[in-house]
Structure 1
Amino acid sequence: MATDHVDESEYVDEEEVFIDDGEVLQEVEDGEDHPMDEDDEADDVAELPSHDDADVTDTSEQHFEGHDGSVFVVACHPTEPLAVSGGEDDLGYIWDITDGEVIVKLTGHSDSVSSAAFSADGQMVATGGMDGKVRVWRRVGTENFRTWEFLTELQGPDEVIWLRWHPRGNVLLAGSNDSMVWLWQLPSGNTMQVFAGHTGPVQCGEFTPDGKRVVTACADGSLIMWDPRSPTAVFKLSPQDARFDTGGITSLAVNPSSTLAVVGGHDGSVRIINLTKGEIVGALGGHAEGDSVESIQFVNLSGNDSGPGVVVTGGTDGKACIWDLSTMRQRATLQHQDAVTTLLTVPAPKSHLIISGSADRTLRTWDGRTGTLLKEHSGHHGPVLGASLGLRGEVVVSAGDDGLCLVYTTEKEEQ
């Protein structure tokens, strides 16, 4: 298989590991929040009133109503005011987030479109479906991003659970319900690798931010790191490994320096993995036992990517917990009235902002430094199933079970 599009010069020696090798595993129990730094405010969040349908206030700037049924995924273009969405109507759409205009209807799936994403340079877009198809379109011309053409259909998966583009190259990664992970080169559509090592649905996966490795995790409780140039695992952690019995892994994030992964389990547990050594080095216990951890994001509170960092985890218990990985302590708890389904972190210079989406039909913007609620975004009449940041973090676009995509500004409301 051809792999020469992956720049081997990017593969450098492993970086410093921030959690010491001899560190004793530390379990932080539920509710054990710790004080923040000096001037940080208390992390207690007042309960907000519940939303009955008749009482929903629409705070969105724009609607997209093209889908006939639930919208499972939405992803914004890296530079242009465009979003791609996919839903249970077996369709995807590229649409303008400023006016809701349909740019192109993405057809060809015979079952729900469960994943969609633009490539890092924004020149291509891929949709993945429960029918096992991955379909790719590309931009036509050089003057604008209003014209797209179908490029290719990628074969292999049984049912596509997620898609990820390489952070710099035209390489597409997909996790499948049949325990396999697929890697393709675009625009040729050639299969680069098929990673086999899981035994159940591959629930989540990521390229490391440096682009050198792939990390995948499975409903069987295993986590595997791969070299994109080889079908052989770099390392594998299984449920039988000490302190890794999560009851199935449901979410995953890798820190900006590509040295640590944080994974969440179906049973509410959270584990920290040293990717350089392939070892579990920590456990976090802030979520209710038996409530799945659905989303994880690293938060850049310091304005740089050094150190182990801060991570936020969101679960079906309605909580998003902010953790300082240098101290293994919980900084704050962000509260929704129903399951937290998605988390986003805004890029610099507003990298302290966290956006959470929930089955309680709202999204909320928080100050990650203090745990303070800054703004509630409402308008959905059903659970928020996904969200994406657009225009370099100036807007957030949501996907709802009510068939709507809504566009909100992320700015803090005037006090």
Structure 2
Amino acid sequence: MSLDAPSAGLSDVTLPLHAPPDAPEARAAKRPRLDSPSTDEGARAVTPRQEELFRTDGPARAHDTAVAAAVQANGAGEAVKGPGRPDYSLRFTIEGHKKSISAVRFSPDGRWMASASADSPIHLHSLPSFSLHRTFSLHTGGVSDVAFSADSTLLASASDDRSVRIWEITPHILQPSTGPDPSAEKGERSARVLQGHLTAVFCVAWSPRGDLVASGGMDETVRVWDVQKGRMLRVLQAHSDPVSAMQFSRDGTMIVSCSWDGYFRIWDTSTGQCLKTLVNEDNAPIASVRFTPNSKFLFTSTLDSTIRLWDYQADKVVKAYTGHVNRKYCIPAVVTADGRYLVAGSEDHKVVVWDIQTREIVNSWIAHKDVVMAVAHHPTQGILATGALEKDPVIKIWMTPAALSAQEPPAAVSSPQQNGALPPAPPEEPEGPAAAANGAPDPAAEAATVDAGEAAMQVDA
């Protein structure tokens, strides 16, 4: 792999969290641009097929094999076998957060779902009923992001209070921390409190081995932490604007980060060296970045309402996905369990689903009454979670027909579930989307309708 290493400068300007720079042209003029910036035009000679985004060199790991078997067993890949489209119907509406939903995540083992909000408490829900299992409430500021460790035993959270906290889902995983927890007197203790960011922490990610956590913040840095020892290993002077997202590669040897400055950079995890810097021609702020499962390509979501698939080794955009609205907020894009579809929220209150290979929109529906800010897909089943901003601060769970049929028969519920989660539907489910609260129709479910009549849209090459 041939990677270049341009330097990254820092700026004294700190931008508002959810507002793009007012003058991108002036900002770009302050820094030297890459000699040969990548563009969408002429860059699509390389068009990787779906399997190339997932295929790995060498024998498959046991975890990969187990996930693939679970996907097949749960019917998450049903659409691959036929010409159908991924149809999701509303199953649960989960209340409890008082302010905008900032993130939802499924654990890698599929047993848990965590949700974060601007009102600071983190809610942990257990599947398949999505009942509230536990609330983590020690952060003193809003929580912008959460992430599960690869073995699903730990949860990391990033907060406006300048800290990253590590929570034990499975007790006694970590050795006792040597540092004091300033919130211990409140009767609750997180396994680790990682402090060092100068301002709000916006994003957090785990290494595949679970020994490292990376966090990005409004202080324009990426910081790498040793989880077991609870100490900072290195500070990456990453960007000249707030860091909006980052992720470890599949083998943990690289970290990718992105920023409002319009650049995304790839770093060597062990040394902190910048290996690669890439930018799109229009230098639009980047809201989200993530590796494909084999880490050979990258998806970036930019505030020009476009999601791009990059061959970062060749410095090329190989595919672009449009049709949603994303010009103001950090809205991530996720890949479905079967690896065929790309899903993202939209500022026009919709969820949009693309076929990764053809770039067609294969489904789109009004999901919330406000901006769909957070999306997450179950690792093995056709289950999608979405969360919205403050006019509709609820989490909705959508399921494909295969996922609905794979659910265990619901048990009787004698009392309303915690956190406002809907109880399991009765055995005699109606043919339409399943959404009821204690037997009463859910107005939110009635408002969230799947626009099945919307024609699929081909993205121009």
With the shorter chain as reference, the TM-score category is: 0.5 to 0.7
Q: Secondary structure at the match of 1:223?
A: strand
- Corresponding residue for residue 23 of structure 1: 44
TM-score after normalising by structure 1: 0.63
Counterpart for residue 345 of structure 2: 314
- Matched with 1:385 is none
Once the two structures are superposed, the pairs formed by residues 15-414 of structure 1 within 5 Å of their partners are 23-24=44-45, 40-41=83-84, 60=92, 65=96, 72-75=102-105, 78-79=108-109, 84-92=114-122, 103=134, 105-107=136-138, 109-138=139-168, 139-141=170-172, 149-157=189-197, 158-238=199-279, 241-242=280-281, 244-246=282-284, 248-288=285-325, 290=327, 294-301=331-338, 310-327=341-358, 329-336=359-366, 338-348=370-380, 350=381, 354-358=384-388, 363=396, 365=398, 367=400, 406=421
SS of 2:376 mapped into structure 1? strand
CA distance in 2, matches of 1:71, 1:38: 35
Q: Is the 8 A contact 1:79 1:392 kept in 2?
A: no
Per-residue Cα deviation, 1:350-373 (whole angstroms, up to 9, x for no partner): 35x545445565736365xxxx99
Q: Which runs of 5+ in 2 are unaligned?
A: 1-41, 48-78, 174-186, 411-417, 432-461
Kept in 1: contact 2:132–2:421 (CA 8 A): no
* Residues 203, 251 of structure 1: 8 Å contact kept: yes
From the superposition, tell whether residues 41 and 198 of structure 1 become closer, same or farther in structure 2 (CA, over 3 Å): same
CA distance in 2, matches of 1:25, 1:293: 28
Conservation of the 8 A alpha-carbon contact between 2:112 and 2:125: yes
Partner of 2:190, secondary structure, is: strand
The answer on whether the counterparts of 2:114 and 2:123 sit within 8 Å (CA) in structure 1 is: yes
Give distance in 1, aligned partners of 2:408 and 2:201: 27
The offset of 1:228, in angstroms, is 0.7
1:185-225 CA distances to partner (integer Å, 9 max, x unpaired)? 11102222322231111111122234332111111111111
Partner deviation per Cα, 1:365-405 (whole Å, 9 max, x = no partner): 365xxxx9998xxxxxxxxxxxxxxx99999xxxxxxx956
Shift of 1:289: 7.6
1:23 alignment partner, SS class: coil
What SS class does the counterpart of residue 257 from structure 1 fall into?
coil
Q: Name the CA distance, whole Å, in 2 between partners of 1:286 and 1:322.
A: 10
Cα offset, 1:94, TM superposition: 5.4
More helix by share: 2
How many positions carry a matched residue from both structures?
Answer: 330
Calculate the TM-score normalised by the size of structure 2: 0.58
Q: Does the 8 A contact of 2:287 with 2:330 survive in 1?
A: yes
Judging by fraction of residues, say which structure has more strand. Answer: 1
How many angstroms apart in 2 are the aligned matches of 1:286 and 1:318? Answer: 13
| Shift in Å, 1:251 | 2.3
Deviation per residue, 1:309-330 (Å, 9 max, x gap): 5423332133444334434x31
Q: Which runs of 5+ in 1 are unaligned?
A: 1-20, 27-35, 49-57, 376-390, 396-402
RMSD: 4.6
Greater Rg, structure 1 or structure 2? 2
Contact 1:117–1:165, Cα closer than 8 Å, also in 2: yes
Q: CA deviation at 1:284?
A: 2.6
